[in-house]
Structure 1
Amino acid sequence: MDNAIPELAIPELDNISRQLMSLEKPQKPKMLVVDDEPDNLDLLYRTFRRDFQVLRAESGVMALDVLATEGEVAVIISDQRMPEMKGTEFLSKTVPQFPNTMRIILTGFTDVEDLVEAINSGQVYKYITKPWDPNELKAVVQRAAETYELLKQRTEELRRAQAQTNLLSAIVHVAQSSSSLEDCLEPIAIAFGRNFLAYGCILQLVEGNALVAGQGTYSTADGLENWLDQDPLAKAAIANQQMQVAVNIPTDDALASVGHYQTSGVQAHLIVPITYRGEVLAVLSLQWKKPCKLREDELTLIHLSAQQVALALTCTRYYRPVV
Structure 2
Amino acid sequence: MRPKKPKMLVVDDEPDNLDLLYRTFRREFQVYKAESGIQALEVLEKEGEVAVIVSDQRMPEMKGTEFLSKTVTQFPNTVRIILTGFTDIEDLVEAINSGQVYKYITKPWDPNELRGVVQRAADTYELLKQKTEELEWSQAQMAVLATLMDVAQTSTDIESSLQPIADALGENFQADSCILQLMDGSDLAGSPVCYGQDERIDLGDDPLAQEAIASQMVQGVANVAGDAELGQLESYQSTGVKAHLVLPVVFRKQLLALASLQWKSPNAIQENEVEWIHRCTQQMALALASAKLAS
Deviations 1:95-144 (A, max 9, x none): 11111211111122332322222222221111212211111211221222
Deviation at 1:262? 0.4
Match of 2:183 in 1: 206
Match of 1:241 in 2: 216
Q: Counterpart amino acid of 1:287?
A: Q
- Alignment of 1:287 with 2:281, yes or no, is no
Q: What is the aligned counterpart of 1:274 among 227, 245, 249? A: 249
Match of 1:129 in 2: 106
Deviation at 1:299? 2.8
In structure 1, stretches of 5+ residues that fail to align are: 1-23
- Alignment of 1:80 with 2:57, yes or no, is yes
Deviation at 1:277? 3.6
How far apart in 1 are the matches of 2:282 and 2:103? 49
Match of 2:154 in 1: 177
In structure 2, stretches of 5+ residues that fail to align are: none
How far apart in 2 are the matches of 1:116 and 1:276? 58
Aligned pairs, number: 295
How far apart in 2 are the matches of 1:61 and 1:107? 18
Deviation at 1:89? 1.0
1:273 is paired with a residue of what secondary structure? strand
Equivalent residues in 2 for 1:3-152, closer than 5 Å:
26-152=3-129
Deviation at 1:291? 2.6
- Alignment of 1:163 with 2:140, yes or no, is yes
- Alignment of 1:264 with 2:239, yes or no, is yes
Q: Counterpart amino acid of 2:224?
A: I
After TM superposition, the structure 1 stretch with the greater mean CA deviation from structure 2, 69-78 or 136-145, is 136-145
- Alignment of 1:310 with 2:276, yes or no, is no
**Alignment check: 8 A CA contact 2:141 2:172 kept:** yes
- Alignment of 1:250 with 2:225, yes or no, is yes
Deviation at 1:232? 2.0
After TM superposition, the structure 1 stretch with the greater mean CA deviation from structure 2, 26-35 or 218-227, is 218-227
Match of 2:193 in 1: 218
**Alignment check: 8 A CA contact 2:141 2:280 kept:** no
Deviation at 1:208? 4.3
CA 1:124–1:229 in 2, change beyond 3 Å: closer, same or farther? same
How far apart in 2 are the matches of 1:239 and 1:296? 22
How far apart in 1 are the matches of 2:202 and 2:269? 23
**Structure-1-length-normalised TM-score:** 0.85
Q: Which structure carries more relative contact order (alpha carbon 8 Å, separation 6+)?
A: 1
How far apart in 2 are the matches of 1:113 and 1:299? 47
1:28 is paired with a residue of what secondary structure? coil
**Structure-2-length-normalised TM-score:** 0.92
Deviations 1:172-220 (A, max 9, x none): 2211111222221122122222343322111111224332343xx2212
Match of 1:12 in 2: none
CA 1:295–1:248 in 2, change beyond 3 Å: closer, same or farther? closer
Q: Counterpart amino acid of 1:118?
A: A
Q: Counterpart amino acid of 1:182?
A: E
Deviation at 1:287? 0.8
How far apart in 2 are the matches of 1:48 and 1:145? 12
